[in-house]
């Protein structure tokens, strides 16, 4: 019998909701792999240990067993893992010291799996922005993190820098920093352009608050260093801007969509090209993402959209403004789906969204068929409701 529970709705009232949808079955991995025709990374979240004796707003308390197990789950579905990124609360609860621990532990697991596709964020978050920070300081900070990731044998995602955004006086400073770092990396990297809706400290990145002017600078850097750039992940929540940039990239450089509003259409592509994926939402909808990409690899575009389209309203809800709080929704779904036994986060960010928001997330997750055990999800939703006095 389908589970029914009373969920809050705007206006301070409760309404009965019955789970009606069966979950998407996680695709079984074939011996030869999934054979996707898109490269797809899920930016994976961190699982914390709620029983650690510390100050949760200030200290790291990572559950390594559950954190690594979740990466194994993503690999089993054929997805890559984008590690130590903003989904893992990098710079928002996970500092560089913690990120190094994550990189070392997860890379140890990845070495045991020849099929493990993984890349790691390298940035400057150990360098606090300030008036005394110079461009040379930013370069040295990037070099330190790049050297650590490469020393662990990892591939690099070159993350946007808050310190650079604060220190740069013109687009030329971005050219100087990125050209220097790209000249030194051992193998091609992914460059991440993270919009200020995800991180307000990155406003004016690439030297302009006009995204089209900023794009010109980014493209000049990327195309002039195409041999050192595997791809660019753009997170501006604008399909139009992503497509415009995608069409201007050097043909050897991939576009990885970071658009958690429009990913389905961008991955499907058009007559002039398509985007690969590096998405935080793929953490939350991993079985749907894997199934949809399998259909796309067989040129079954209708089945691809049939599976992925219902996940888009869920993703738009999770990533709604203030977008930087999207991680709360990602971890909430991990809790509902049994990947962790609690709804706790680094920095106490489980409190960043309201019970109304979480109730609507529950409904949309059912519609998207990503509640992998509806009875468990309903039971856990009731626990969260009880903590809110419902």
60 band by pLDDT with thresholds 50, 70 and 90: confident
The answer on pLDDT for 31 being more than 80 is: no
Q: How confident is the model at residue 33 (pLDDT cuts 50, 70, 90)?
A: low
pLDDT (average), residues 275-297 = 97
- The per-residue pLDDT for 382 is 97
Give the three-class secondary structure for 277: strand
Phi-psi region at 354: left, alpha or beta (left = phi > 0; alpha = psi -120 to 50): beta
- Give the residue extent of every domain in the chain: 4-387
Q: Is the dihedral of CA 124, 128, 134, 140 positive or negative?
A: negative
pLDDT band, residue 110 (cuts 50/70/90): very high
Task: Residue 239: name the closest of 255, 254, 216, 223 by CA.
Answer: 255
Q: Render pLDDT for 209-262 as a digit per residue (tens, 0 to 9).
A: 999 999 999 999 999 999 999 999 999 999 999 999 999 999 999 999 999 999
Are the C-beta atoms of residues 141 and 162 closer than 8 Å to each other? no
Mean pLDDT of 58-66: 91
pTM as predicted? 0.96
What is the structure's pLDDT at 53? 87
The residue whose two tokens read 């709360």 is 328
CATH code for the part of the protein at 4-387: 3.20.20.70
State the average pLDDT over residues 384-389.
96
Reply yes or no on whether the pLDDT at 30 is more than 80.
Answer: no
């Amino acid at each position: 019998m389908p589970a029914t529970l009373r969920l809050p709705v705007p206006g301070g009232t409760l309404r009965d909701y019955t789970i009606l949808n069966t979950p998407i079955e996680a695709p079984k991995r074939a011996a030869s792999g999934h054979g996707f025709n898109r490269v797809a990374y899920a930016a994976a979240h961190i699982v914390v240990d709620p029983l650690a004796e510390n100050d949760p707003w200030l200290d790291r308390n990572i559950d390594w067993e559950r954190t690594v197990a979740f990466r194994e789950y993503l690999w089993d579905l054929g997805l890559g893992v984008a590690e130590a990124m903003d989904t893992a609360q990098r710079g928002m609860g996970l500092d560089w010291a913690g990120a190094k621990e994550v990189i070392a532990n997860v890379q140890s697991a990845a070495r045991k799996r020849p099929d493990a596709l993984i890349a790691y964020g390298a940035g400057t978050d150990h360098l606090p922005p300030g008036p005394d920070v110079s461009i040379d300081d930013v370069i040295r900070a990037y070099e330190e993190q790049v050297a650590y990731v490469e020393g662990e044998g990892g591939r690099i995602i070159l993350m946007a820098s808050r310190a650079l955004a604060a220190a740069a006086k013109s687009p030329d400073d971005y050219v100087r920093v990125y050209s220097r770092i790209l000249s030194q990396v051992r193998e091609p990297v992914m460059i991440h352009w993270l919009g200020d809706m995800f991180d307000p400290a990155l406003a004016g990145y690439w030297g302009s608050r006009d995204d089209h002017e900023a794009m010109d600078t980014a493209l000049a850097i990327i195309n002039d260093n195409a041999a050192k750039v595997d791809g660019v992940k753009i997170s501006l929540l604008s399909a139009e801007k992503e497509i415009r940039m995608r069409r201007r990239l050097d043909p050897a450089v991939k576009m990885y969509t970071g658009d958690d509003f429009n990913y389905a259409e961008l991955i499907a592509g058009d007559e002039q090209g398509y985007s690969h994926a590096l998405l935080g939402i793929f953490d939350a909808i991993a079985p749907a993402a894997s199934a949809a990409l399998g259909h796309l690899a067989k040129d079954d575009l209708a089945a691809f959209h049939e599976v992925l389209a219902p996940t888009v309203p869920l993703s738009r809800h999770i990533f709604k403004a203030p977008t930087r709080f999207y991680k709360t929704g990602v971890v909430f779904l991990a809790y509902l789906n049994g990947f962790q036994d609690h709804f706790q986060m680094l920095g106490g960010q489980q409190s960043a969204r309201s019970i109304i928001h979480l109730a609507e997330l529950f409904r949309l997750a059912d519609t998207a068929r990503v509640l992998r055990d509806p009875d468990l999800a309903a039971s856990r939703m009731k626990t969260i409701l009880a903590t809110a006095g419902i």
